[in-house]
Amino acid sequence: MTTVRMLLWGPDRPGLVASAAAFVAERDGNIVHADQHTDAEAATFFQRIEWRPAADAELTAAGRVELAGEVAALAARLGMDHRLRYADEDRPFALLVSRQPHCLLDLLARWYSGELPGRPAVVVSNHPDHAEVTGRFGVPFHHLPAGPGQEEEIVEILAGAGVEAVILARYMRVLSPTVLDRWPAAVINIHHSFLPAFVGGRPYHQAHHRGVKLIGATAHYATADLDEGPIIEQDVVRVTHRDDVEALVHAGRDLETVVLARAVRWHLTDRVLVYGNKTVVFN
């Protein structure tokens, strides 16, 4: 049986956890995971509850619509925003990539082996290099060279595929609001540095020039401001003075794939909430 994922966020006050738990209990649901966070400075409460419905629960389309209405009423009564999803929902996403294939291949392999939720519905690239390997996974591939009208074509292809998230798997172009506004807080980028350090292009060269002892990777939601979007996940690896730029690039690629995969998995399992320029990532 599928599980229900209910997220609530809004002004903090006593009784919110009890109210959400009582809502589930009244429907004979069994909570299998719950996590919450309070931002004391903003006086804002965030909660994610995942529960298994009662054995006789109505999980038809009509039943899910009814539950959506009940959750909306609960959120309104508590003065909260909300999100409701089911673990068995189809979650199609797009992969955008340029020449470097490591993040693309890692995500496709994780999905193929059952490690990554969701479904890669389409791959779009500004280079033709990855058409053959993408085809081996049975995923449609579109080559759209950079130029006037490219983003409008991207939107048309992605909308036609019905994607709900866009993964920039080392897509080395800055997207405009044409794409970003169509999928708000759902375009995930991997940047090959520990942001906010070394924004923009050639971060490994910047890191080598600065003589850093740690290099990092950052997965974040893309916004109109380059490399400034809400951060989902970061990680680092130690380097030394003996490492040249090529060595930093080699070490960083492994890090990029892991950090991006975590961010995609958390997004597709409804573990991320954006508020302001920050995120809450539930355990």
Beta carbons of 34 and 48 less than 8 angstroms apart = yes
- Rounded Cα distance between 101 and 98, Å, is 8
**Of the residues 227, 235, 254, 270, which is catalytic?**
227
Judge whether residue 233 has pLDDT over 90: yes
Beta carbons of 219 and 281 less than 8 angstroms apart = no
**Of the candidates 162, 149, 280, 269, which has an alpha carbon nearest to the alpha carbon of residue 221?**
280
Answer with the residue of higher pLDDT: 96 or 1. 96
Judge whether residue 258 has pLDDT over 80: yes
Arithmetic mean of pLDDT over the chain: 94
Beta carbons of 228 and 218 less than 8 angstroms apart = no
From edge to edge, which strands make up the β-sheet containing 44-52? 30-39, 44-52, 4-11, 81-86
Query: Residue 227 — very low, low, confident or very high, per pLDDT cuts 50/70/90?
Result: confident
pLDDT of amino acid 92: 98
- Rounded Cα distance between 223 and 221, Å, is 6
- Rounded Cα distance between 80 and 127, Å, is 45
Q: Is the pTM higher than 0.85?
A: yes
Beta carbons of 73 and 57 less than 8 angstroms apart = no
The share of the chain scoring above pLDDT 70, in percent, equals 100
Beta carbons of 214 and 239 less than 8 angstroms apart = yes
Predicted confidence (pLDDT) per residue in 52-81, tens digit:
998 877 788 899 999 999 999 999 999 999
Query: Residue 249 — very low, low, confident or very high, per pLDDT cuts 50/70/90?
Result: confident
Judge whether residue 282 has pLDDT over 90: yes
CA 48, 67, 79, 230 torsion-angle sign: positive
Predicted confidence (pLDDT) per residue in 178-214, tens digit:
999 999 999 999 998 888 787 888 888 888 889 999 9
Task: Give me the domains of the chain, ranges plus CATH numbers.
Answer: 4-86 (3.30.70.260), 92-281 (3.40.50.170)
Torsion on CA atoms 272, 238, 190, 232, rounded to nearest 10:
10
Judge whether residue 260 has pLDDT over 90: yes
Tell me the residue length of the chain: 283
Tokens linked to 198: 């070394």
**Which DSSP string do the residues of 30-87 spell out, in sequence order?**
EEEEEEEEEETTTTEEEEEEEEEPPTT---SHHHHHHHHHHHHHHHHHHT-EEEEEET
Amino acid at 226: L
Query: Is residue 270 annotated as a catalytic residue, yes or no?
Result: no
Answer with the residue of higher pLDDT: 201 or 89. 89
- Rounded Cα distance between 250 and 244, Å, is 10
Judge whether residue 10 has pLDDT over 90: yes
Read off the pLDDT of each residue in 97-114 and give the average, rounded to a whole number. 96
Residue 114, SS3 per DSSP: coil
